[in-house]
Chain A
Amino acid sequence: EIVMTQSPATLSVSPGERATLSCRASQSVSSNLAWYQQKPGQAPRLLIYGASTRATGIPARFSGSGSGTEFTLTISSLQSEDFAVYYCQQYNNWPPNTFGQGTKLEIK
């Protein structure tokens, strides 16, 4: 089973600034990597798949990059609604798909 490790666990950023979240896989997952956003009491929302493709309706300020074992989610200019928990997920070696433990993005 592939282990996904996200860093940092908590990231404090001011509105309008850039946020960079990292995800590392224990072995190569090619570009089969997704990012999700989850707000309290809500279901996860798919942001990025294929490491860099935005899902339907996702604003352009969200971008993904990386391949192999190292991936990054960048939010270019943080809006108030972006403060949430973010998860990465690999789906290259399935089953099972595996998720990272999450990064909490909080207001600085």
Chain B
Amino acid sequence: EVQLVESGGGLVQPGGSLRLSCAASGFTFSSYWMSWVRQAPGKGLEWVANIKQDGSEKYYVDSVKGRFTISRDNAKNSLYLQMNSLRAEDTAVYYCARDLYYGSGSPNDYWGQGTLVTVSS
């Protein structure tokens, strides 16, 4: 059974940093592109970033470029999102998700339950 479990969310002040983790199991993690998708409270879904199987390609939505970094450790079956210079508008539930396709735009066929990030003073 495919499982994705996020952790690392919490309350952080504007300008602060946070690192999210996603532990994957039930599939060959190193064979899949992976994504982060977020959802602000009461709002819709926003794709944030994704990363190639070996970490050599990474893509971001414009609003987080230069502030967020996606990474992975295939030996630990883990996906990460380092978030720096956080803003109030980054407040959201952050989902880890598996990409269905390789090397292109892709829907996401499995999702974690999400971790809440709140940016507030």
Complexed CA–CA distance, A94 and B52 (Å): 14
Contact of B112 among A32, A43, A55, A91 (CB under 8 A): A43
Could you say which residues of chain B place their CB within 8 Å of the CB of A102? Answer: 44-45
Q: Does A28 contact B (CB under 8 A)?
A: no
Per a CB cutoff under 8 Å, which of A32, A55, A95, A99 touches B45? Answer: A99
CA distance A50 to B61 in the complex (A): 22
Q: Does B46 contact A (CB under 8 A)?
A: yes
The digit string for A28-71, where 1 denotes a CB below 8 A from any CB of B, is 00001010101000111110010000011000000000000000
Measured between C-beta atoms, what is the minimum distance from B110 to chain A in Å?
8
Chain B residue contacts of A20, Cβ below 8 A: none
Partner of B107, one of A38, A43, A46, A100: A46
CB distance B106 to A99 under 8 Å? no
Which bucket holds chain B's interface residue count? 20 to 34
Q: How far is the CB of A9 from chain B (nearest CB, A)?
A: 11
On chain A, the residues within 8 Å of B114 by CB distance are 43
In the bound complex, residues from chain B placing their C-beta under 8 Å from that of A91 are 101, 104-107
Closest B-chain residue to A48, C-beta based? B107
- Taking A46-B100, A55-B109 as given, write out 6 further A-B residue pairs in contact, using a Cβ cutoff of 8 Å, ordered by the A residue number: A43-B113, A49-B100, A56-B109, A87-B45, A95-B105, A96-B61
* Chain B residues at the A interface, C-beta cutoff of 8 Å: 37, 44-47, 50, 59-62, 95, 100-101, 104-114
7 residue pairs of the A-B complex, CB under 8 angstroms, read A38-B45, A95-B47, A96-B62, A97-B105, A99-B45, A99-B47, A102-B44
